[in-house]
Amino acid sequence: KQEVTQIPAALSVPEGENLVLNCSFTDSAIYNLQWFRQDPGKGLTSLLLIQSSQREQTSGRLNASLDKSSGRSTLYIAASQPGDSATYLCAVRYSGAGSYQLTFGKGTKLSVIP
Partner 1 sequence: NAGVTQTPKFQVLKTGQSMTLQCAQDMNHNSMYWYRQDPGMGLRLIYYSASEGTTDKGEVPNGYNVSRLNKREFSLRLESAAPSQTSVYFCATELRTLYYEAFFGQGTRLTVV
**Residue at 83: amino acid letter:** G
How many angstroms separate the CA atoms of 88 and 36, rounded? 6
Site for partner 1 in 21-60 (CB under 8 A): 31-32, 34, 36, 41-46, 49, 51
Is residue 76 part of the contact set for partner 1 (CB under 8 A)? no
Segment contacting partner 1 (CB under 8 A): 16-24, 65-73, 78-86, 97-105?
A: 97-105
**Region of 19-27, 60-68, 71-79, 103-111 interacting with partner 1 (CB under 8 A):** 103-111
